[in-house]
Chains A and B, each alone.
Chain A
Amino acid sequence: MNVGVAHSEVNPNTRVMNSRGMWLTYGLGVGMLHVVLLSIPFFSVPVAWTLTNVIHNLGMYVFLHAVKGTPFETPDQGKARLLTHWEQLDYGVQFTSSRKFFTISPIILYFLASFYTKYDPTHFILNTTSLLTVLIPKMPQLHGVRIFGINKY
């Protein structure tokens, strides 16, 4: 389905990331975030890159791995009520192109951030932990897993 058109998708959350223009919008959004951070005069270039990485990963964690269910009502009697958006993507099928794209994009951002911070130790720790918070929930072994019952209901 493409966003904004009439569709017969039971849960639009599953297909929205495959829609036309979604990846481009996402890339441009990250780029805009970085440009805004760069234009703040207090931040040096390494700080701006680390901040981009951390804010992007924070946003990705909240929207893809923390918030559950759908903001609209679905005709499937609430099958996805307890699933995060990542778990809902493509009805749980792993390694689809959207999932691969969103797994690789924080890694690319990480590489860029590591390069531009000149591999400084503090920045390295910040960027790596932030990358791990966003990569570990994407693993297929952790599909539907709630550690210590956090965020279960």
Chain B
Amino acid sequence: VQEKEELIEEWQPEPLVPPVPKDHPALNYNIVSGPPTHIITVNGKECINFASFNFLGLLDNEKVKSAAQASLKKYGVGTCGPRGFYGTFDVHLELEERLAKFMRTEEAIIYSYGFATIASAIPAYSKRGDIVFVDEAACFAIQKGLQASRSSIKLFKHNDMADLERLLKEQETEDQKNPRKARVTRRFIVVEGLYMNTGDVCPLPELIKLKYKYKVRIFLEESLSFGVLGEHGRGITEHFGINIDDIDLISANMENSLASIGGFCCGRSFIIDHQRLSGQGYCFSASLPPLLAAAAIEALNIMEDNPDIFQTLRAKSERIHKALQGISGLKVVGEAFSPALHLQLEGSCGSRDSDVKLLKRVVDYCMNSGIALTQACYLEKEEKCLPPPSIRVVITVEQTEQELDKAASLLKEAAQSVLN
């Protein structure tokens, strides 16, 4: 007993917060005043916004804002309830119908937070004992959804269909060894249309072939490609000309192109209806505020009325992709038509910390000259496959060609001065 008392007295608790250096990036953040539209005011300085995912420029659109204000006057601000508990308003049902009609699927379901959309959709279908084949470059929301699903995860190399086929073949041989187990195991492939971490697209036609060959369901996450790819903005299925019925579930968040909050899933009624009771983010979170739903409906109207903005966006992305080639020390990662591309260091200087600091100097140089850029931030300890540090450049429809050229030349200067 004496020893127990001594031990108790000697014990020093670990600090709740470990000692953190003063220049930790999370402690020195930039402060934005005003809306993050085409011109963003960072730390009191006005810069051109190359950091917010405002692809179609709908964040500051007058029609969207007036629709939201009219809805605010009619409904108030929040819904104060989940969808099952007096939280379903007519704007929600209208938005779901509009999204289903726009994407040409049977039904759509709305979530009130973009991250929670795919993180609730995956565990609604995939349980313990099921198998999910997922790309290594999947975004954090997908990773959390997979973790919540408790299924076995098989990672395949980014966009490497040969690797995926090898994994599928291995699974097939195991299934033949144990057919009774195979009959109760569900198999899924989770891919993104336009990857946020690498800026390229998934090879969807090959994936469809693999799907029908090995009998796997495909979940497509279209957060960045909705409203960007395709002739009318319907995403990667329109971009590749694939029948939308071949994809089992499309999930997207409305926080990028639609300039609203929340997310949606669309697909066959048989599939989407299941999420109305087992989508955790749908049943147990308050529903989307009606003013945001009205804003999303108005944004959809604008997207449907002006289908030429997608072509403009693609032209601008290709322009800046070409302009940024050949910067010494930085390499461009991403497809030519992707409006969100990464600039990674060509040669890393030892540790990730030093790379991050170097890129921060480039970003600060650009910020001082009036171009707002950002580094891609990750939760380093939580990511499964941590991408290398990079600067993320986002192109929106509102940027003029002069601004694009100015950004490209500024980045060249910054790279020259900082990296040499």
Q: A: which residues have CB within 8 A of B?
A: 73, 75, 77-79, 81-82, 149, 152-153
Residue of chain A at shortest CB distance from B182:
A153
B192: min CB distance to chain A, Å: 23
User: B-side binding surface: helix, strand, loop or mixed?
Assistant: helix
Contact of B149 among A77, A82, A149 (CB under 8 A): A77
B183 interface hit (Cβ, 8 Å):
yes
Asked whether A82 and B129 contact (CB < 8 A) given A152-B181, A153-B184, the answer is: yes
Q: Considering the complex, which residues of chain B in the window 174-203 have a beta carbon less than 8 Å from any beta carbon of chain A?
A: 178, 180-181, 183-184
A75 to B149 alpha-carbon distance, docked (Å): 10
B24: min CB distance to chain A, Å: 36
27 contacts between A and B (CB under 8 A): A73-B277, A73-B278, A75-B280, A77-B123, A77-B127, A77-B128, A77-B148, A77-B149, A77-B150, A78-B127, A78-B128, A78-B129, A78-B150, A79-B128, A81-B127, A81-B128, A81-B129, A81-B184, A82-B129, A149-B180, A152-B180, A152-B181, A153-B178, A153-B180, A153-B181, A153-B183, A153-B184
A153: min CB distance to chain B, Å: 4
A149 to B150 alpha-carbon distance, docked (Å): 24
Q: Pick from B129, B148, B178 the residue with the most CB of A within 10 Å.
A: B129
Residue interface bits B124-149, CB-to-A below 8 A is 1, else 0: 00011100000000000000000011
Residue of chain B at shortest CB distance from A151:
B180
A82 to B148 alpha-carbon distance, docked (Å): 19
Residue of chain B at shortest CB distance from A78:
B127
A78 to B148 alpha-carbon distance, docked (Å): 12
Q: Kindly list chain A residues whose C-beta atoms are within 8 Å of the C-beta of B278.
A: 73
B149: min CB distance to chain A, Å: 6
Q: Kindly list chain A residues whose C-beta atoms are within 8 Å of the C-beta of B277.
A: 73
A153 to B175 alpha-carbon distance, docked (Å): 13
Q: Kindly list chain B residues whose C-beta atoms are within 8 Å of the C-beta of A78.
A: 127-129, 150
Residue of chain A at shortest CB distance from B130:
A78
Q: Kindly list chain A residues whose C-beta atoms are within 8 Å of the C-beta of B123.
A: 77
Q: Kindly list chain B residues whose C-beta atoms are within 8 Å of the C-beta of A75.
A: 280
User: A-side binding surface: helix, strand, loop or mixed?
Assistant: loop
Q: Pick from A73, A75, A79, A153 the residue with the most CB of B within 10 Å.
A: A153
B200: min CB distance to chain A, Å: 32
A82 to B129 alpha-carbon distance, docked (Å): 10
Q: Kindly list chain B residues whose C-beta atoms are within 8 Å of the C-beta of A152.
A: 180-181
A73 to B275 alpha-carbon distance, docked (Å): 12
B126: min CB distance to chain A, Å: 8
A73 to B178 alpha-carbon distance, docked (Å): 25
Q: Kindly list chain B residues whose C-beta atoms are within 8 Å of the C-beta of A82.
A: 129
A90 to B416 alpha-carbon distance, docked (Å): 68
A79 to B278 alpha-carbon distance, docked (Å): 16
Q: Kindly list chain A residues whose C-beta atoms are within 8 Å of the C-beta of B129.
A: 78, 81-82
Residue of chain A at shortest CB distance from B149:
A77
Closest 6 CB pairs of A and B: A78-B127, A153-B181, A77-B150, A78-B128, A153-B180, A77-B127
A84 to B148 alpha-carbon distance, docked (Å): 24
Q: Kindly list chain A residues whose C-beta atoms are within 8 Å of the C-beta of B178.
A: 153
A78 to B181 alpha-carbon distance, docked (Å): 15
B145: min CB distance to chain A, Å: 12
A82 to B183 alpha-carbon distance, docked (Å): 13
Residue interface bits B269-304, CB-to-A below 8 A is 1, else 0: 000000001101000000000000000000000000
A15 to B392 alpha-carbon distance, docked (Å): 53
A15: min CB distance to chain B, Å: 21
A70: min CB distance to chain B, Å: 12
A68 to B181 alpha-carbon distance, docked (Å): 14
A79 to B19 alpha-carbon distance, docked (Å): 40
A75 to B120 alpha-carbon distance, docked (Å): 12
A67 to B180 alpha-carbon distance, docked (Å): 15
A132: min CB distance to chain B, Å: 26
A10: min CB distance to chain B, Å: 13
A81 to B178 alpha-carbon distance, docked (Å): 17
A73 to B123 alpha-carbon distance, docked (Å): 12
A40 to B78 alpha-carbon distance, docked (Å): 67
A77 to B152 alpha-carbon distance, docked (Å): 12
Residue interface bits B385-400, CB-to-A below 8 A is 1, else 0: 0000000000000000
A71: min CB distance to chain B, Å: 15
A140 to B417 alpha-carbon distance, docked (Å): 73
Residue of chain A at shortest CB distance from B274:
A73
Q: Kindly list chain B residues whose C-beta atoms are within 8 Å of the C-beta of A149.
A: 180
Q: Kindly list chain A residues whose C-beta atoms are within 8 Å of the C-beta of B148.
A: 77
A48: min CB distance to chain B, Å: 39
A77 to B250 alpha-carbon distance, docked (Å): 22
Q: Kindly list chain A residues whose C-beta atoms are within 8 Å of the C-beta of B127.
A: 77-78, 81
Residue of chain B at shortest CB distance from A69:
B184
Residue of chain A at shortest CB distance from B183:
A153
